[in-house]
Every structure is written in structure tokens, then in C-alpha cells.
Structure 1
Amino acid sequence: MSELRRPVQVAVGDRVRFDGQVRGVLAVSALAVTLSDDDSPYRAVPLLELFGADGFEVLTGPARMPLPPVSLLETLPPEVLAKALWWEGHILEVLHGLPFGAAPGTAPRPEYAPGQSLTARQRVKAAELTRAGHQVTASAVGHHRRRYQQDGVLGLVDYRPVRKKPEFGEVDERVVSAMRAAVKEGIDSSTKTGSYFLWRTGEILRASEEGRTVKLPSRATLYRLLAKLTEGTHTFSTATTRRSKAHGAKTPFGELPAFAPGQIMQIDSTPMDVMVLLDDGVPGRIELTGMIDVATRTLSAAVLRPTTKSVDASVLLARTVTPELMRPGWAEALRMSRSVLPHRRLLSLDERLEHAAARPVIVPEMIVCDNENVFISRNFKASCRFLEIDFQPAHKGSGFEKGHIEKMLASIATLFVQFLPGHLGRSTDHRGRHPERERLWSLIELQELLDEWIVAHWQNRPHDGLRDPAHPSRMFTPNEKYATLVEACGYVPVALSGDDYVELLPAEWRAVNDYGIKIKHRVYDSPELDPLRRRNSGIAAKRGLWEVHRDPYDVSRIWVRDHRSEQRPWVQATWKHLHRAPVPFGDLAWDHVSHQLPGATEAEIADAVAAFLTRAHAGPAGQPKAKQTGRDRRVAARTKAAGPATPLPSPAADSPAAEPNPQPPQTEDKLADVIPLGLFDPLEDPWRRR
């Protein structure tokens, strides 16, 4: 052995590797080293022989062996464990001279006295076990003793009854590979049954040269193999979940922590499982688009549309950064001034919060969305650039990257949608009979209900993801978490001004006539439009029309840009019949005068939520259940097409064209009865629903 590999020194207590065994150093002199030995109490080795031996080394690290995994003993059969414990008792007597459980002060038997070597003790134990009827040799006792010193009781276990079996039994590995390939092919295709994958496995084997000679096992064995290979892959479940799990991240999930409101926000849309009355009075389905703040789980905005478009995402962003004002009919407990939100501090920054509802105003710093055309459109990106917001699309097929908004949309279905008339269920298997015949809400009324539900229920509901790190059993509501983070990080929301909000709304080009502006059969007018009536805007590209911005979720007012004036860039015009038919604010029959209390209690909020769900489930007041048949739809279509008409005068008796007894024309269906209009009563309550 080279001089460089020799140890510097060997001290008592060291462990060295010599003569193929690990030995302890018992004594060191100028000429020799005394080492422990299995066959005798000790062994004296000259220094030159020790240092020159092949494989000699001084072992570093702790002298004690690591603890064996004792918990694995619980997985053993009772008879195997009993056999290992029986061996442990005898091995302990060989090592220490006393059996396990010996009373204190008990002297060892002479054959196990301290002066006896391990080899002698092993021979005595083997003879003792043989006389007791167990055919055991001294070498077998030594083998069990070394295994016990290395692995503890687990080293004495007979693994023959519990020998691990191959993962897929006796199935040929080529069959396993072929079935893996078949399952992988089905990730992006439609969901199929197990018989298809068995057939496809055989096809893949026949297409390969190595697989042609493989004999397929029985059909039952193939089904068991398929169950093992598809466990947790959703191969026979929904295609969307299967693709998401297959194309998701293969490495451990990372985490992007959010410590302040607006630091990370997520946006997404999904079909809503409920029927509503669309603008033409026909029942139909709608889509829900929402935005959630990761730090506080605040549902900052949610809008409903028959089909989500790019302008809807921009309007959603505008609603997120502006206060939610109280609506007629909302309970006083829903005011921001009576919530846990820091209303007084925020009121000094924005006076509009005086009449705001208890929903925080959050300005996003980063928005995470999927790759739908709605969110990667030019309009939405332009809105994000205008507000200096980082735009971060998620990877394709990686729904987990925006899991907060995905979970929120699913929660709305269980916490809100199922209470509504016209609920469809999550699939056709869960759908009731004729949901379109129930008392359906209109799209605008349902939007009003959703806004109220967000303020009343979602923002005051303890969230499992909002827990106190010091007290994990305590859950916060989104409003409580927002108030806490405002105190912790000093977050100050700078809400958009009214002009900024209007600027984000979608634009249309209309003429300003004598009667005002007409949009979708609704007329908007205002005295401030007088300088613009029947005038050219001066924009030749739009044929002199005026730029009109409107909120598609609020039909009560519009805003007209006055291109000729610098003092008043926006002119507001109101729907002419808003005071007669307050549809944009939903069913105002709920409107009531509530008591002024210093603060909203949990009981008041709970009562408001309970009353809200009862009202939402009942459907619009005064509206009968829609039991339309084909004949009813034809009558309604004819009546709508004909419109109001002046009755024709009766023909004169002496007219030559008049018949003595004119017969009414034969029609396929009987028209609806004519209901005369009532007289206008100026003292009548205009808010009462007829």
C-alpha cells in the first residue's frame, strides 16, 4: 500500500476494515493494534501487517449503525413476526449472556459468561436449540447474529412467505409495453372502454416484429393489467381531466406566493349550468367569466353573457378596479361601512366608497389566464397595457396553473347556481325534466343576483385556503384577509376614475337624433345631448357618427364622447324608461327601508344570505311558470310580428262589398286574448311589479 494512503493515526475506538471485516480498535501500542474479532475475544495485529494489508482503511462516521425501519414489522404476517422475535431472544443471549426480559441482577449461565467468545456461545446455542427439536447449526446462529447486529429484528425475518412479487406478475414485458402505448394513444382521443384497449394492445403487438411471437395472457389477466396501468389516469373518465393530468407538469409543483392584494389574479370563463330568458324571451344558456385575487380569494368581478367575447374580459377588468356601489333592494348589512374592510381609511382616498358595497377594490399587478381567444385578444391585452398589468398566459393543457379560478367557478355551481330555477346540473345525467318551464330569471336580473351573492355570501364565507399560519385552525373570509393584508403590507388600492372606467368599456358609433340615441331598441337621452343633436362628429372614418361607450351588463346608461369639447369629454345619457321599468337593478320588489345600525353582525349577514337564496330560488315575482308548447310559440311569434295595430272599421251595411254575415277567417291556431292597457295613475307606486 502506498505511503500516501496510510492513515495518519489509529486511536482506540476507531473502526477499521481489515481482513474483509469491520473491526473495532481495542488497544494501540508501539508495535501492534488489538482489534475485536468474531471468533475470539480479541486479535493482536502488528502495525506493519495492518497498514500493509489489502483493503485496509479507517472508517469514519458514527460507530453506531443506523436504526432499522422497525415500522415495517407491522406489515409482516403474525407467524413470520413471531418467528423473528423468537430468534431475537436467543441472539440477545448470545451477545450479552442474558435472555431478553431477564430480571435485574440475574447472573448469566456459565456457558454464556463474559469470558466466553462469540464462537463458543454460538456453538452452545446451536446445541441447545437442537436438543429442543430445532435443527440449527452454529454457522446458522452466527449468520442470524450478524444480520441482527446489522438490521435489527428485520434481519431475522424469513422473507420467503412475504417475498415481493413482480409488479405485473408473470405478464410478458412486451405485453406491458404494448398496453402502455395503447393507453398513451387514448389521451387526446375520445373516451373508450377497456375492450378497445385490449384490442389495440393486440394490434400493436402484431405490428411489431418482437410482439408477433408473444402469446397474450387470458382476458381476465389483461383486464387486471389494464387496471394497474390506468390507475389515476382517468382513462375511462372525462376527457378534459385525462388530458390535463397527462399534459401537466411531471416535476414537483412549484408555488408562486402572493402576499398582497392584486399581486396575482386569475381570470377564466365557463358555461353556467342554468337556463335564463335571453333578450328575445327564449330560454337559453349563458357563460360566466370571473376574476379572483389569489392572496385574498376575493371574487373581484363576475359577469354573465350568452357568449363570452374579448370586450367582456375588458369590462370585467374595468369592474375589478372600480367600487361596487350599493343597489336598490340590497340589505344595509352589505355596505362597506358596516363590514370588516378598512372603510374609513379607504374613504379618505376615494369618496365614491361612501356608498360602496362590501367588496374590495383590487388593482391587478399580474393576470394569469388560459389561451382562449377571449383573453389573448388585442382588446384585453390593450387594456392590460393601459393599466400597466403583467399579462401571463398559462401553458396549454395546464389548468393547475390557474387552479384558484377553476375551483372558484366550480364553487359557484354548488353554492349559488343550484339554488336557481332552471338549474341544469353538471351533465345530462343530472338534469331534471323540463327546466325551461320553470320561472326563469332574465340575463340582467340574474347578473344582479350574482353581484348580490358575491357581496353577501362569497366575501363573508370562511375560505379553507385563507388560514392563519400561527393558528391553522382559524379560517379567514376574503374580506377579513383583505383587511389583514392591508395592515400587514400597507396596500393602498388606487381605483380607476370614472373617465378611466368609461374608457375601458366597449365602443359603438351612433347618431344623436332629436329623440336621443337608440341602441338595441332602447332610447337614451339627456339634456346634455342638446349641443350634439343632428350634428356631425367630424370623424369622417365613421361617417360623422358619435362614439358611444356602454356597459353590456348595465343597460341603464351610456356615455357619449364629445369630440368637440375639452371640458366635458363624456356626456352621460340615461335610458328613458328607467324610472318606469327598473330592469337593470333586478326585481325591486325586495326594496325596503332597513334600520341604521352601527355595524353588520354575522347574524344579519346570514339572514341576508338566507333571504337572498330563498328569493333567487322562487324566480321572478309575478311570472308564471313557462309551460310553452309549439302552439304557444307560434302564437307569440305571430303576435310579435303583427305588433299593435288599429282595428279596422266595420264595413257599412249598404256597402256592396259587405257580406250579410261575414264569417271569421279560418286560422290554424287561435290568437291570444287581447288585454286592454290600464289607465295611468300618477299616484301609483312605480316600483310595484305588475
Structure 2
Amino acid sequence: MGRLRRPPALGVGERVRFDGQVRGVLQVTAQAVVLEDAEESHRVVALIDLFEADGFEVLFRPERMPLPASGLLETFPPEAVKQALRVESHILEVIHGLPPDAEPGTAPRPGYGPGTSVTSRQRQKATELNEAGYTVAAKTIGNWRRRYATDGLVGLADHRPVRKRPEYGTVDPAVVDAMRQAIKEAVDTSTRNGAYLIWRTGEILRQPDREEGDGREPAWPSRPTLYRLLAKLTTGTHTTGSAVTRRSKAHGAAAPFGELTVSAPGEVVQIDSTPLDAMVRLDNGVVGKVELTAMIDVATRTLSAAVLRPSTKSVDASVLLARTVTPELMRPGWVDALKMSRSVLPHRRLLSLDERLEHAAAKPVIVPEAIVCDHGKVFISQNFRASCRFLEIDFQPTHKGAPFEKGHIEKMLGSIATLFTQFLPGYTGRNTDHRGRSPEQENLWSLPELQDLLDEWIVAHWQNRPHEGLRDPDHPGRLFTPNQKYAALVESCGYVPVALSGQDYIELLPAAWRAVNAYGIRINNRTYDSPELGPMRRQGSGVTAKRGLWEVHRDPYDASRVWVRDHRGDGGWVQATWKYLNRSPVPFGDLAWDHISHQLPKATEEELAEAVAALLTRAHAGPVPAAKSSKKDKPSKNDRRIAARTRATAPTAPPLQPEPPEELASEGPAEDEETLAEVIPLGLFDPLEDPWRRS
């Protein structure tokens, strides 16, 4: 009874015995094989005839020659490498029949020629080595050959000098797991030292509900061993260091960082705010810190807008949107080299779209399509979301505790600190450890001056600085500047920026709904009035959802005017000026007003206006010497700080009517008369007066 046999697999380079000769396989097809022949150049034999021929045998199969792992060989002692090289020469003769240094055409030695099997060669090699004084068995030669086929020269070296030790030595795995749990528990808690973590490890091991594994009690290592184990497990985690850095590393991305593909300016824009690492002179003798709110375009790395404010509010984020879609105009004192017409930006083509670009600085206009921000209350506010909807911008907040999702703006804010802020007087460093002695006593810039410096630095330095993230794909050694990248992307994607009009600035300001009374509009105890409000007085707006109230937009940093939407007309804006603007000609905002309101809770509107004006006057004049006035007359430090922070916030929205009404502008403050004593008038009782009438 016959037995089914699987035919052998043939490949090019193998040697077979056929028709009484040892022949090499030159080519293998689906039905035939091309063999070497002593009389002819080659011989073609059908596969079925080859496999059924008497005496057919596969004698030699070429093995893959492994590449030597030179890097691993450097970890072995020199003597072990020399020994491995000696063994390699013998193994190569066993595999190929010839030593590695044999000359071409050299005939194999007896016992290694054609027709000999690998097993017989191993026995022959073992015999030769034993005669040379080395005690080696044929089985050992076979093990060397197999290790050489798998690991190359490294497999022949003695691994005892470089044998890997357990990662944590002889420490019980249960102790390692317990210490890892203790380290994990310390991520979100206050920073503690190593002694607490070791104590907590022992507490975890003594918990009754802990899974024991094999049921035995783990061996408790010595204290030095525990500290060495703790050092290994806490490497790079800041477990006993900064709590902020520890949380950032623990909650960071577990997967590799991805790369966001953007191909057009404004496709993805990131926004964030951070305290500026420099002291600012807010007013005469008043020093404080401000916050920097900035926006960066991911495609071009353009720093599209940056605003300095004593405290960032949602209106600042909205104003930042307005600035990024508005051309940056040249300012007095700027050199002509900063003009857009002298830059690499496509000025002529853009000028046909917006005439304001004729006097614009060399910074592109970026219209965002999507804004990425964190969960700061400024950016997730209703006002900022409404501004994004108004400009048709996709609002995409990141995941909580994931600052790496907006890494471009995070890196940019750090770059401003190193490229700009540290050159300013009053630089404080990023924390108290880096702060010098008395930075507030240096010659500090005022906030408006510092804002102008920052704007000029952005145009002059940042937009013309080669950026590491803007490399040419075809020439990685070449870096683009943000302006160059913008010009290149405009050529490739045909980007057309659409700038905002003057009306759009007012749309970005926060809204309030108020009634238009006979005396005007009242907001936060301030009355605003204008002759254009005549048709709206005592009338409903027609907006039933707001009970007929009128939509009023205002700038919290400029309390001098508001804008009322004409719902009954064309939907335009009517500017109303504060009634007591002549008493306080300097614009001031809610910060100073709220400060005075808390001090005088029952004061009238006129008294509040006079108090705010007096506060600003006292703060601007500075402290009075003690010999000329009493302590009671001196402005307090808090008063000066509030007034200074208010003065520093200049109006952020351009008014539709830059000049105040004539009747208000013509009025001037009455000249002060010399007062001998304070007179408190007593009111007369009027029996006919309505007691319920509101003053």
C-alpha cells in the first residue's frame, strides 16, 4: 500500500543530487527547474521527473546570513568578542564548506565537500577542535550553528558578563505593585516625601481585602532597598517635586503626539492667556502685573493678536477676535521697513480687497475658521461663544487637563517670555525662584507703552523670525518665517481674508437689555443719553422675548459711552454718552466704579461720579507729604491701584461718533471757590410733595 508523500520545496541556490551528479538550482518555475550541468551550461528538468528520479536528494539549503549586531557587541568584554569571532570562522566552514578567508576557487577540505551533510560536518569539526586541545562535542557545534543562524555573532558570545538582572532585583513583586499604587494615589494630592510613600506602601500591603496572589506574606525589603526602589519607580514623575508638573505628566497623552494637518491660514487658530512675567507701571507710583491674551494661527504660526490687560475678561477675548481680522495699521515712530508693502506678503493683491491695507503693517489678516481653547471661564463664556457664532467660527474647547491639545499657543506664550518679556525692565521670571530683588523699583513701562512695544515686536521680530515648525518639506534645512509661510499658502490655496467693518466691533461687545426712559438709559447707576434716543424714549423695542427692552452694547473698559440698537429702524447703532462725562473726562471702567460703589453704597449717581473723579485725581497726583496734609486726606494704596488699573484699560472699540454731544462738550467744570467751612444744607418740609416719588 502506497503512502502519500509531500514533494520537497526547492529554491534558487540549493544543491541537489540528480542523475549521479551534485547540481545547483538556477531557476524554479511552476512545472520545471533549471539545474547546473557538467557538460552543458544548464539543464531543464520537469519537476515530476526530478522528484521521481532514483537517488534524488536535497543536499544543501543556503541559510540566511544574519547581520552582525555591532551595537550589542560593544556591551561585551573584548575577550568575549574575540572568542566569538574565532568560533564564527569554524561555524561558517560547517555551514558553507569553506572558511570565510578562503580564496576564490579553493576546494573544500575533506569532510566538508559536496555530498557531505551538515551533521557530518559538525562531527568533523568537533574532532578537529578536540585534536587542537579544545573539548567540544558535536552537539555543542550544532547549538552554535543554530544560535548563529538566529542571532549572528552575538549568539556565539558568552552572555554571562552581560546577563540581564531583574528590573527590581530581589524585591517581591507585591511590594512593587503596592508602591506603584501609592505613587498613583499621590498624583492629585499635595507633595509628600519618600518616607510617606514607603509608609503608605506598607499600609497597602496590610489591607485585608488585598489580593495576595499565592497566599504568602511578601518579604519586606530593607530601608535602603525601598528608597532605591522608590527612586526607580518615580523617575520622571515628580512625585516628590512640583505638584503642577506631576499632574501635568500624569494626565498627559498616553499615545504618541499626533500632527494636525492644516493647509490654509485661519483653518485652526488657538487662543490662551497667561500672566506676563514683567511688572508694569499702571499709574504714578502704582506697580502691578498684567495678563497676556494671545492668538496664533497654526498653519502660518502668525501671532495674529495679543492684548495686555490687568485682568482678562470675556470681552478681551472678543476684542482679540476683532483685532485678528482687522489690519494692523502703521503707527507713528515705526520704520518704513515694517510696512506690508515692503514685506513678502502679497500686498498688491490684498490691497484690491481692502483699501485699509495701503497703510497696514507687515502682519497678515487671519480670519479663523476654528478656534481651539481651554476651559478658562473667559473662553467658555457666553459672550465669547456669541462672538464665535457671529463670525461663523467653530468653537472647539480641549479636554480638561489636556494642555498638549493646544501646544502651539502654549509654546508661543513661552517664546514671548524668552524672546521679548525678559528684555523688559521689571522682569520677574516665571516663578518666585527666578525673581530678582525689587523688580518693581526699576524703570518700568506703562501699560499703553508696553502694548505698543509688543505690537511693534510682533510685526518686526516674530513675523520675520524663521520658525522651527515651518520647514520646507523638500528642503528640511530651510525654515520659513510666518510671513513667508502665509505668502506661500496664499499662492497654493487662494486664501482671501475678509476684514471686519466698524460696525462689527460693536457687535463683539457684551450686550445688556435696558429700557429707554425720558432721562435716557441707566446701567450700573450710570445714565446715558443722546439726542438720537428721542424716538425710543418710553417706547418698546418690539422684541417680545425681552419684554420690549432695547439691546445695549458697552465696553467694560470704557464707561463713557454705550451703543443702542435701533430695533424700530434699520437695526443700526445709536451712540449714547454718559451724562456726567464732563466730571470725569478720563475713560474709566467697571473696576473703579465698583470700588467706589462699595465704599458709598447709598450715594447718588452724581456723588458716585464725583467720587470716582476725585479718586483718579488723588491717585494721579501721588502721595501727599505728611507735613502738608493729614493721613485722612491721603489716597489709600488700594485706591491708587484701582484707579491705575482702570486708567490702563484704554477703549477697545472705535466709537461711531468720536465727538461727544455739543451740549456735553461745551459744559465745563465750575471753578472751585475758596471754602471756609463745610456747609450741610437742611431740606425744607413740603407737605404737597408726593412721598412715593422716586428721586
TM-score by length of 1: 0.71
- Cα shift at 1:403: 0.2
Give the length in aligned residue pairs: 572
Q: Map of 1:583-622 to 2, 5 A cutoff?
A: none
* 3-state SS in 1 of match to 2:187: coil
Look up the match of 2:659.
Answer: none
Contact 2:370/2:393 (<8 A) preserved:
yes
Look up the match of 1:176.
Answer: 176
| 1:295 equivalent among 294, 299, 305 | 299
Look up the match of 2:473.
Answer: 469
1:285 aligns to 2:280 (yes or no): no
Look up the match of 1:91.
Answer: 91
Over the matched positions of the two proteins, sequence identity in percent amounts to: 63
1:125 aligns to 2:125 (yes or no): yes
- Further displaced range: 274-283 or 559-568: 559-568
* 3-state SS in 1 of match to 2:289: strand
Look up the match of 2:142.
Answer: 142
Alpha-carbon separation, structure 1, partners of 2:95 and 2:236? 50
- Evaluate the alpha carbon distance shift between residue 113 and residue 212 of structure 1 in structure 2; reply closer, same or farther with a 3 A threshold: closer
Look up the match of 1:621.
Answer: none
Look up the match of 1:318.
Answer: 322
- Cα shift at 1:508: 7.0
Contact 1:276/1:442 (<8 A) preserved:
yes
- Cα shift at 1:217: 1.5
1:30 aligns to 2:37 (yes or no): no
Structure 1 vs Structure 2 CA RMSD: 4.6
- Evaluate the alpha carbon distance shift between residue 92 and residue 558 of structure 1 in structure 2; reply closer, same or farther with a 3 A threshold: same
- Evaluate the alpha carbon distance shift between residue 537 and residue 493 of structure 1 in structure 2; reply closer, same or farther with a 3 A threshold: farther
- Evaluate the alpha carbon distance shift between residue 462 and residue 569 of structure 1 in structure 2; reply closer, same or farther with a 3 A threshold: same
| 1:638 equivalent among 633, 641, 656 | 633
- Further displaced range: 398-407 or 265-274: 265-274
Alpha-carbon separation, structure 1, partners of 2:198 and 2:357? 64
- Evaluate the alpha carbon distance shift between residue 251 and residue 576 of structure 1 in structure 2; reply closer, same or farther with a 3 A threshold: same
- Evaluate the alpha carbon distance shift between residue 464 and residue 572 of structure 1 in structure 2; reply closer, same or farther with a 3 A threshold: farther
Look up the match of 1:195.
Answer: 195
- Evaluate the alpha carbon distance shift between residue 157 and residue 409 of structure 1 in structure 2; reply closer, same or farther with a 3 A threshold: same
* 3-state SS in 1 of match to 2:429: coil
Contact 2:465/2:482 (<8 A) preserved:
yes
1:331 aligns to 2:328 (yes or no): no
- Cα shift at 1:293: 0.5
* 3-state SS in 2 of match to 1:207: coil
Alpha-carbon separation, structure 2, partners of 1:63 and 1:380? 69
* 3-state SS in 1 of match to 2:376: coil
Contact 1:126/1:136 (<8 A) preserved:
yes
Look up the match of 2:249.
Answer: 245
Q: Which residue identity lines up with residue 183 of structure 1 in the other structure? A: I
Look up the match of 2:680.
Answer: none
Look up the match of 2:21.
Answer: none
| 1:364 equivalent among 363, 368, 376 | 368
Look up the match of 2:437.
Answer: 433
| 2:419 equivalent among 415, 421, 429 | 415
- Evaluate the alpha carbon distance shift between residue 509 and residue 150 of structure 1 in structure 2; reply closer, same or farther with a 3 A threshold: closer
1:269 aligns to 2:277 (yes or no): no
Contact 1:359/1:479 (<8 A) preserved:
yes
- Cα shift at 1:563: 6.5
Contact 2:514/2:549 (<8 A) preserved:
no
The CA deviation string for residues 235-275 of structure 1, in whole angstroms up to 9 with x for no partner, is: 23433332233223322333321100010011111122222
Alpha-carbon separation, structure 2, partners of 1:13 and 1:477? 56
- Further displaced range: 503-512 or 247-256: 503-512
Contact 1:179/1:201 (<8 A) preserved:
yes
- Evaluate the alpha carbon distance shift between residue 395 and residue 545 of structure 1 in structure 2; reply closer, same or farther with a 3 A threshold: closer
- Evaluate the alpha carbon distance shift between residue 630 and residue 124 of structure 1 in structure 2; reply closer, same or farther with a 3 A threshold: farther
Contact 1:268/1:291 (<8 A) preserved:
yes
Alpha-carbon separation, structure 2, partners of 1:466 and 1:475? 6
Question: Which consecutive unaligned segments of at least 5 residues does structure 2 have?
Answer: 16-23, 26-34, 36-46, 589-620, 641-670, 678-695
Alpha-carbon separation, structure 1, partners of 2:409 and 2:421? 16
- Cα shift at 1:384: 1.1
Alpha-carbon separation, structure 2, partners of 1:35 and 1:112? 17
Alpha-carbon separation, structure 2, partners of 1:12 and 1:628? 99
Contact 2:559/2:587 (<8 A) preserved:
no
- Cα shift at 1:336: 1.7
- Cα shift at 1:278: 3.5
- Evaluate the alpha carbon distance shift between residue 363 and residue 154 of structure 1 in structure 2; reply closer, same or farther with a 3 A threshold: same
* 3-state SS in 2 of match to 1:175: helix
The CA deviation string for residues 71-92 of structure 1, in whole angstroms up to 9 with x for no partner, is: 4333333222211111011222
- Evaluate the alpha carbon distance shift between residue 83 and residue 233 of structure 1 in structure 2; reply closer, same or farther with a 3 A threshold: same
The CA deviation string for residues 393-428 of structure 1, in whole angstroms up to 9 with x for no partner, is: 111111111000000111111111112222111111
Contact 1:524/1:576 (<8 A) preserved:
no
TM-score by length of 2: 0.71
| 1:354 equivalent among 331, 351, 358 | 358
The CA deviation string for residues 543-602 of structure 1, in whole angstroms up to 9 with x for no partner, is: 9999454484x899976656676496355989999xx9999xxxxxxxxxxxxxxxxxxx
Look up the match of 1:607.
Answer: none
* 3-state SS in 1 of match to 2:271: strand
Alpha-carbon separation, structure 1, partners of 2:631 and 2:477? 58
Alpha-carbon separation, structure 1, partners of 2:221 and 2:626? 62
Look up the match of 1:342.
Answer: 346
Contact 1:270/1:289 (<8 A) preserved:
yes
Alpha-carbon separation, structure 2, partners of 1:637 and 1:404? 52
* 3-state SS in 2 of match to 1:274: coil
Contact 1:510/1:548 (<8 A) preserved:
no
Contact 1:276/1:441 (<8 A) preserved:
yes
- Cα shift at 1:327: 2.3
